Amino acid sequence: MTQLVQFELLGDGVGIITLMRPEAANAMSVQLLTDLGDMLDQVNKNPAVRVVLLTGAGEKAFCAGADLKERQGMSDRQVKQIVQLIGGTVAKVEALAQPVIAVLNGVAFGGGLELALACDLRIAASHVKVGLTETSLGIIPGAGGTQRLPRLIGIGKAKELIYTARRLNAVEAKSYGIVEYVYEGHELQEKAQQLALEIAKNAPLSLVQAKIAINQGVEVDLATGLKIESLAYSALIPTEDRLEGLLAFQEKRTPQYSGQ
């Protein structure tokens, strides 16, 4: 059986995960979700990967969301199971130890946008369109969209987009705060790698703890968040990389971090 998700280590700590169903707009079939979950488990344990790019094959679609053709004929119970599988896989992206950049090479609708929202950062090609379109299909976002979008752009804007099922172009998505950068299609991969390298040059354990502190802290009150930050900081004090960072600063050279 052909793998529907591929991984490539680009070097300098940057790895790229690619959804490989361009003929089906990289829609989330059961096999694609299973392959993606397995790949995330492997990447999560790989110390050579400091930053992850997540993209889709082709230029038309990052991910068009759930595979609605596959869903035809499913029982209510089966539909519920597949929705849970999508939600669990998207949550696994968010829980990945390394920073993840969604590289939106094409449309990201429904579950496709929910997948991107679970990433740490999002950059898009100028021709991209995105949207949580579920209410136009008689459902609602079921893989975290009703929770992650308000946290990212604010509750009023999120309600507007979810209630209207509106599709945004890349520039509109940037103005809403859904994506950080918009580039021409031919620039997208190069710009994504540049951003990833800018992150990957820093101490990998620091990236892990910073992600933990931000993701957990945003869910709680400030006092609790500050305690979370303190614990994340404390985890770095005994590391070799912290000492290397100090020494490199004193010696006015670029630090060589080992992830230890």
Catalytic residue numbers, as ranges: 66, 111, 114, 134
Strand partners, 109: 131
Among 103, 67, 72, 105, residue whose Cα is nearest residue 86? 67
Bridge-based pairing of strands 121-125 and 100-104 is parallel
Phi-psi region of 106 (alpha: psi -120 to 50; beta: other; left: phi over 0): beta
Secondary structure (3-state) at 27: coil
Strand partners, 181: 123
HSE, CB side, 13 Å, CA atoms: give it for residue 52: 29
State the sign of the Cα–Cα–Cα–Cα dihedral 36, 38, 41, 47.
Answer: negative
Among 103, 93, 106, 199, residue whose Cα is nearest residue 148? 93
Backbone angles phi, psi at 21, to 5 degrees: -130, 55
Q: Which two tokens stand for residue 4?
A: 């529907």
Q: Kind and range of the H or E element at 250? A: helix 240-251
